[in-house]
Amino acid sequence: MKDATTVVPSEAELSTGVRDTQGIAAGLADILADTYRLTFKTHAYHWNVEGPLFYSLHKLTEAQYENMFAAADQLAERIRALGHLAPLSMADIVARSQISDLPGVPSAGEMIADLVSDHERVAHRLHALVQLVEGRRDPVTEDLATERSAFHEQAAWMLRAMAKS
C-alpha cells in the first residue's frame, strides 16, 4: 500500500471527445496566469487607492478581485478536467502572464487606466481562446471563456465610466 503523501500529480488521458487538450490547457493556463496577476494588482490597488474616488474604487475593485479569485479556481479545475496539470509555480504564472506592473506608486486615475487596459488585454486573450477551441469539440471551455470575457469587458467598462469627469 502506498503512503498517501507520496502521490505525485500527473496528467491523464481523456476519452471525452475533446481534441487537442494540450493546446486548450495551455491557453487556459495563460488565462489563469493573467487572472492571478490581475487579481493581485486589483487587490493592491484596492488597498492603496486614495482621494475622492476612494470609496467607489475600493468597493468596485473588491467585487472584481473576489470574482477573479473564484474564476482562477474554475480555470485551474478546467485544466485538470482536460487531463493536464495547472501551473505549479509563481514563476510559471509570471512567465505566462501578459499583465505587468506600473512603475512607482500610481494615482487613482493611473490605477483605473491600468486596470482598464489589463481587463481589455485579458478579454482579448479569452476571445483568442474561444477561436482556438472552435472545432475541437470543447463547448465547456468555450462557455467558460465566453463567460470570463464578458466579466472582463464589463469590468473595463465600469472602470472607464468611473474615470469620466
- 89-136 tens-digit pLDDT: 999 999 999 999 999 999 999 999 999 999 999 999 999 999 999 999
* Pair 34, 98: CB distance under 8 Å: yes
CA dihedral 153, 128, 65, 48 (to 10 degrees): -80
- 97 contacts: CB under 8 Å, gap ≥ 6: 30, 33, 34, 36, 37
CA distance 27 to 34: 11
How much is the pTM?
0.92
Q: Tens digits of per-residue pLDDT, 34-91? A: 999 999 999 999 999 999 999 999 999 999 999 999 999 999 999 999 999 999 999 9
Class of domain 19-97+105-163: mainly alpha
Query: Which pLDDT band, with edges at 50, 70 and 90, does 16 fall under?
Result: confident
Question: Residues 78-108, buried b or exposed e (16+ Cβ, 10 A)?
Answer: bbbbbbbebbeeeeebeebbebeeeeeebeb
Q: What pLDDT does 3 receive?
A: 85
Query: Which pLDDT band, with edges at 50, 70 and 90, does 164 fall under?
Result: confident
SS3 119: helix
- 17 contacts: CB under 8 Å, gap ≥ 6: 137
